[in-house]
Homo-oligomer: A and B are copies of this chain.
Amino acid sequence: MEQDLPPVLSLDIGGTKLAAGVVTGDGRIHGWQVTPTRREEGPRQVLARLFDLGRKAVADAGEPEVAAVGISCGGPLDTATGVLGCPPHLPGWIDVPVGALAAEAFGVPSALENDATAAALGEFRYGAGRGTRTMLYLTVSTGVGGGSVIGGRLHRGAAGNGGELGHVMVRPGGRRCTCGRHGCLEAYASGTAIAERAREALATGRPSSLAAVGNPTAEDVSRAVESGDGLAREIWDETTWALGTAITDLVNVFEPELVVLGGGVTRSGALLLDPVAVAVARDAMPPAARTARIVLAELGAGVCVVGAGAVAHDLLSGKTPGKTPHA
């Protein structure tokens, strides 16, 4: 059935990269394009380049036309009006009507969606979540975000951001989070937080193979764990503890069939997944713990583009709000 859905154009607005592709009803990306965001150029120029990138994707995909445009971007944003609020990854972009502009540019209806929420729908429909009804998706990346599918439908929440799964408290009074609260999951498990904690530990003069790296990233930390570095192991254990604690909470309150972990930090694979899965199986309430599987995402770097395509398909079937072009 999904295979009969028409091709749609997907656009993804990241803090460092813009991406575009045509997504067909089977969830495949055609004519995939990527270019630097150069957000300092401001919304007018960046969006002009984004729409050009979209046109190039349509041309390269060999599709004469697309039926809708789906756009994924970090929030806050308003899915009903298609207006981007003032997302922290795009400083100075204030109340930009991305949805309406895209609808005008391509002459088809458009839907704007929170990137993590779009990714959750992508994994649900075409990735690790296929065949489930209730699924959580967490992206562990520069920040920690996520989305939920409940009873087969994307949950947007009354505030329209679909749930901030990265802002579950794991340590009251702990590290300051980007949201202003102290001790959220994001303040421990994001790639940014892993790198920060490594820097802080090295600054105390403790010996570690990471000292030779200069400014270690989360990836450097995971590599050092694998080569037996003690300091890296401590940072990693705290990371998986934070994820295990927060996901136990989420499993208790949502009782999902599946929790999908995606985002750059999960490229560490079993090193991240295994301790988290063990903690949830041990700590969650027994019926919820027996039911929920914890797995890695399947869609990789294209997840937001595939997800925005799924959002555009939902727009065509009336499941999601959007903007239509003027006649």
Complex interface: stretch among A34-42, A261-269, A280-288: A280-288
Q: Chain B: which residue is nearest A245 at the CB level?
A: B169
Asked if A176 is at the interface (CB within 8 A of a chain B CB), the reply is no
| Contact status B162-A255, CB under 8 Å | yes
Q: Given the known inter-chain contacts A151-B153, A158-B134, please indicate yes or no for A168 contacting B286, CB distance below 8 A.
A: no
| Contact status A253-B163, CB under 8 Å | yes
CA distance A157 to B168 in the complex (A): 19
Question: How many residues of chain A get a CB closer than 8 Å to chain B's CBs?
Answer: 48
CA distance A161 to B286 in the complex (A): 11
Contacts of A165 in B (CB 8 A): 252-253
Contacts of A85 in B (CB 8 A): 287
Asked if A160 is at the interface (CB within 8 A of a chain B CB), the reply is yes
- Return the CB mask of A156-187 against B: 1 if under 8 Å, else 0: 11111111110111111000000111000000
- Return the CB mask of A63-90 against B: 1 if under 8 Å, else 0: 0000000000001100000000100000
| Contact status B159-A287, CB under 8 Å | yes
- Chain B's nearest CB lies how many Å from the CB of A145? 11
Q: Chain B: which residue is nearest A249 at the CB level?
A: B168
Given B153, B171, B257, which contacts A172 in the complex, CB threshold below 8 Å?
A: B171
Q: Looking at chain A's contact residues, is the secondary structure mostly helix, strand, loop, or mixed?
A: loop
Given B167, B168, B248, B290, which contacts A181 in the complex, CB threshold below 8 Å?
A: B248
Q: Chain B: which residue is nearest A134 at the CB level?
A: B158
Contacts of A287 in B (CB 8 A): 75-76, 85, 159-161
Q: Chain B: which residue is nearest A154 at the CB level?
A: B151
Contacts of A157 in B (CB 8 A): 134, 254-256, 288, 291
Asked if A150 is at the interface (CB within 8 A of a chain B CB), the reply is yes
| Contact status B169-A170, CB under 8 Å | yes
| Contact status A285-B254, CB under 8 Å | no
Q: Chain B: which residue is nearest A285 at the CB level?
A: B164
Interface residue ranges, A against B (CB under 8 Å)? 75-76, 85, 133-134, 148, 150-151, 153, 155-165, 167-172, 179-181, 245, 248-250, 252-257, 283-288, 290-292
Pull 17 A–B residue pairs with CB atoms less than 8 Å apart, ordered by A: A76-B287, A134-B158, A150-B151, A155-B254, A156-B255, A157-B288, A157-B291, A158-B256, A159-B255, A164-B252, A164-B285, A165-B252, A165-B253, A168-B253, A169-B248, A172-B245, A180-B283
